[in-house]
Amino acid sequence: DSQQQQQHLPTTATQKPRENKSSNQKEEKSSFSLAYEQSFGFFDDISDYNWELMQNRAATRQNHRFGNDPLKFRTYPAHWYMNNFEPDFTCPQERRIGGPGDGPKWVCDPHRLTKISEERKKNEGVGCLVYSVGCAGKYHLEDGLYELLGPVCEIHVFDPGNFARDDLKDKNMHYHPWGFRSSYDDTYKPFARGEFRTLQETMEEL
Between CA 153 and CA 130 the distance in angstroms is: 7
Calculate ∠ Cα 26-32-36, nearest 5°.
150
Between CA 139 and CA 145 the distance in angstroms is: 10
Between CA 176 and CA 206 the distance in angstroms is: 10
pLDDT in tens, 67-106: 999 999 988 889 999 999 988 999 999 999 999 988 899 9
Q: What is the DSSP letter of 71?
A: T
Identify each DSSP E strand in the chain by its residue range. Answer: 95-97, 105-107, 128-133, 153-158, 173-176, 178-180, 195-197
Domain spans, the chain = 30-89, 93-205
pLDDT in tens, 140-179: 999 999 999 999 999 999 999 889 999 998 999 999 999 9
End-to-end CA distance of the chain: 59
What is the model's pTM? Answer: 0.71
Q: Specify whether the CB–CB gap between 95 and 107 falls below 8 A.
A: yes
